[in-house]
Chains A and B, each alone.
Chain A
């Protein structure tokens, strides 16, 4: 599962340009599940289990990540870009990026710190002020390397560090994808649908159509969610903590989660001695927002890996939380099928 997470995080796939992630996943699915690719680029996979249950369960994770898009080429050969998804501009300035399908190296810089006036020294550089320098000296030369609409992706190697921590870009939500791949690798008790969806970061768009196609009775969204357990956040604002297990929310900005499933999650966790926590703030949102409103409504829960510095090139999770998210999901699935709900 860690191997898949590493490989998935190192692939580039901003919203709307998830092709390389999709190809990797399809490659892993071959022979293990039936699948189709829908019109938006979602992978809708079906894994036959030992039995066919009387209810349809769908597990979903998104393939896309935040990044940018080239919007303009300046006369001096540098590139203007726009953010894709919710990105704090302060985690983008001064970084390396790769641009477009040819993976052109670029850096994001501006005038030197020495040249800033007092106001500028205190103010973050806005996206509209940023430029990507790929080393071209004219617009004409740059046009030979990149095109408008090319993806801009963070450069950040996946690595293990500290006491069992993982750092990488796009852990949101390749962690969910990796957990689904592990579930698909094994023999399942019951038929289950797995959707690897596109365009979550720009408005839960892939999940909207995937849920429509699958028509599930129950849905489990696998995600990475904001952990703010850092020194300058007070305890009640820390939301959730690394090392305290998967996060199951009762409510966020898009969804009031199924109370039944919420309780079943904690009950399952208790039964199997899996650490589990809830979010202490009503914040964020994920594909559950689209899935639970699909057609006549779907009972939905979200199980998330707590993740520090979400939507930055340096997402940080705890290896145990990641593994426990898998364990909880697997056991929850059994409980749902075994009519504990």
Chain B
């Protein structure tokens, strides 16, 4: 499996929260090489290992399939679109961005920006109420192809930077999806300690909703929430972040299972897989928060791929980090005991 090609194919699909079907379909197609796959009404993708053994514990591998974006709320008399946020939108970068509106057809638009001569203060950021999308159409033309509820996103497909870094929209969390797929590739034809279930969950960015129902249906004993987390940029303090190219970030937090964290750390050490520890003071802001308290409780931990510029169309990850995250997950699935 070519990790870069996989992540590229996943990241270019659309999957803004609540409307993930294109991304879900692509992920389901890829997952079906390894597992029996179903997609539910919400767009959640589920995979179950073909050789399901009732005597084994069940491990749920979760990554979310949705991405942040915007949603059309209104079309003005002049044909401009008003929008609201889907997820934690970064208002610093919206003005004059080219966007795609996913109407009855995909429509190109530009986020309006007020020209400098009218702008008293170019230091101020717009609020979402100030944002309009210019689709270059009259209201009448716009209404033929666009409706309230259509999603809007910034369409940056993958580009390569120096070293093994790539930049794209939606690497949060298609990188996690790719890492799970790579782990399954490594586990092909191998015995595993657990029954393996996979879910690619919808609506994480608007409140970890897909994982809530997915985890309920999974009857899992253990879960790994595979997401992205903050890699240090030049503007961050080192104590708040991981680093690119230093391997998966293993979560340690009061809301996570210390037992699973410890096993992950031990597996990484024994197999010389690079890793970093990510300490969080309470909840994690990932699907792990709801998975852990599903039904009578699931032992859950986060495994995160370091990523720079989260929630922007120029997110950056290292291909080697995705590979090493996949390796860590695969070894975790294979390994019988905590020690080695």
Binding site for B on A (CB under 8 A): 74, 76, 78, 86, 88-91, 93-96, 104-115, 121-126, 129, 131, 133-137, 141, 145, 156, 159, 161-165, 167, 226, 228, 230-233, 237, 239, 281, 283-284, 308-314, 316
Pick 30 A–B contacts, CB within 8 A, sort by A.
Answer: A93-B92, A94-B90, A94-B312, A94-B314, A105-B160, A107-B161, A110-B234, A112-B230, A113-B89, A113-B91, A113-B311, A113-B312, A114-B88, A122-B124, A122-B125, A126-B123, A131-B233, A133-B308, A133-B316, A134-B162, A161-B107, A161-B109, A163-B141, A167-B98, A228-B117, A230-B112, A231-B78, A232-B132, A308-B134, A314-B97
In contact, B124 and A74 (Cβ under 8 angstroms): no
Determine whether B280 belongs to the interface, using a CB cutoff of 8 Å to chain A: no
Residues of chain A contacted by B137 (CB below 8 angstroms): 162-163
In contact, B122 and A121 (Cβ under 8 angstroms): no
In contact, A137 and B245 (Cβ under 8 angstroms): yes
In contact, B93 and A309 (Cβ under 8 angstroms): no
Q: How far is the CA of A228 from the CA of B113 in the complex (A)?
A: 9
Residues of chain B contacted by A137 (CB below 8 angstroms): 163, 245
Are A115 and B112 CB-contacts (below 8 A) given A110-B309, A122-B124, A237-B118?
A: no
The residue of chain A having its C-beta at the shortest distance from the C-beta of B127 within the complex is A122
Residues of chain A contacted by B91 (CB below 8 angstroms): 113, 121
Further 5 A-B residue pairs, CB within 8 A, beyond A108-B314, A230-B114, A314-B96: A76-B234, A104-B162, A109-B316, A124-B124, A231-B132
* Distance to closest chain B CB from A260 (angstroms): 27
The residue of chain B having its C-beta at the shortest distance from the C-beta of A230 within the complex is B112
The residue of chain B having its C-beta at the shortest distance from the C-beta of A310 within the complex is B115
Partner of B163, one of A86, A110, A136: A136
In contact, B136 and A316 (Cβ under 8 angstroms): yes
Q: How far is the CA of A90 from the CA of B91 in the complex (A)?
A: 9
In contact, B122 and A88 (Cβ under 8 angstroms): yes
In contact, B98 and A124 (Cβ under 8 angstroms): no
Q: How far is the CA of A200 from the CA of B236 in the complex (A)?
A: 38
In contact, B159 and A136 (Cβ under 8 angstroms): no
In contact, B136 and A111 (Cβ under 8 angstroms): no
Determine whether B338 belongs to the interface, using a CB cutoff of 8 Å to chain A: no
In contact, A94 and B313 (Cβ under 8 angstroms): yes
Q: How far is the CA of A76 from the CA of B162 in the complex (A)?
A: 13
In contact, A115 and B230 (Cβ under 8 angstroms): yes
Determine whether B80 belongs to the interface, using a CB cutoff of 8 Å to chain A: yes
* Distance to closest chain A CB from B292 (angstroms): 21
Q: How far is the CA of A43 from the CA of B240 in the complex (A)?
A: 54
Residues of chain A contacted by B220 (CB below 8 angstroms): none
The residue of chain A having its C-beta at the shortest distance from the C-beta of B154 within the complex is A94
In contact, B308 and A109 (Cβ under 8 angstroms): yes
Q: How far is the CA of A134 from the CA of B167 in the complex (A)?
A: 10
Are A230 and B80 CB-contacts (below 8 A) given A123-B124, A135-B162?
A: yes
In contact, A111 and B235 (Cβ under 8 angstroms): yes
Q: How far is the CA of A94 from the CA of B111 in the complex (A)?
A: 14
In contact, A78 and B314 (Cβ under 8 angstroms): no
The residue of chain A having its C-beta at the shortest distance from the C-beta of B311 within the complex is A113
* Distance to closest chain B CB from A196 (angstroms): 25
Partner of A94, one of B93, B115, B134: B93
Q: How far is the CA of A321 from the CA of B119 in the complex (A)?
A: 25
Residues of chain B contacted by A93 (CB below 8 angstroms): 92-93
In contact, A135 and B92 (Cβ under 8 angstroms): no
Partner of A131, one of B88, B89, B234: B234
Q: How far is the CA of A1 from the CA of B156 in the complex (A)?
A: 28
Q: How far is the CA of A133 from the CA of B234 in the complex (A)?
A: 10
Q: How far is the CA of A322 from the CA of B314 in the complex (A)?
A: 32
Mask: chain B, 121-133; 1 = CB below 8 Å from A; 0 = not: 0111100001010
Determine whether B301 belongs to the interface, using a CB cutoff of 8 Å to chain A: no
* Distance to closest chain A CB from B48 (angstroms): 34
Q: How far is the CA of A283 from the CA of B245 in the complex (A)?
A: 49
Residues of chain B contacted by A78 (CB below 8 angstroms): 234
Are A232 and B136 CB-contacts (below 8 A) given A113-B88, A163-B141, A314-B96?
A: no
The residue of chain B having its C-beta at the shortest distance from the C-beta of A159 within the complex is B108
Residues of chain A contacted by B95 (CB below 8 angstroms): 88, 90-91, 312
Q: How far is the CA of A162 from the CA of B134 in the complex (A)?
A: 9
Partner of A135, one of B114, B163, B240: B163
Partner of B134, one of A145, A159, A283, A316: A316
Are A124 and B125 CB-contacts (below 8 A) given A91-B96, A135-B165?
A: yes
Determine whether B305 belongs to the interface, using a CB cutoff of 8 Å to chain A: no
Residues of chain A contacted by B136 (CB below 8 angstroms): 161-165, 167, 316
In contact, A96 and B108 (Cβ under 8 angstroms): no
Are A106 and B112 CB-contacts (below 8 A) given A90-B122, A137-B245?
A: no
Determine whether B175 belongs to the interface, using a CB cutoff of 8 Å to chain A: no
In contact, A110 and B235 (Cβ under 8 angstroms): yes
In contact, A124 and B110 (Cβ under 8 angstroms): no
Partner of B240, one of A115, A159, A311: A115
Residues of chain A contacted by B32 (CB below 8 angstroms): none
* Distance to closest chain A CB from B120 (angstroms): 12
In contact, B161 and A161 (Cβ under 8 angstroms): no
* Distance to closest chain B CB from A242 (angstroms): 8
Q: How far is the CA of A78 from the CA of B123 in the complex (A)?
A: 23
* Distance to closest chain A CB from B164 (angstroms): 8
Determine whether B76 belongs to the interface, using a CB cutoff of 8 Å to chain A: yes
In contact, B125 and A123 (Cβ under 8 angstroms): yes
In contact, B80 and A163 (Cβ under 8 angstroms): no
Determine whether B38 belongs to the interface, using a CB cutoff of 8 Å to chain A: no
The residue of chain B having its C-beta at the shortest distance from the C-beta of A313 within the complex is B96
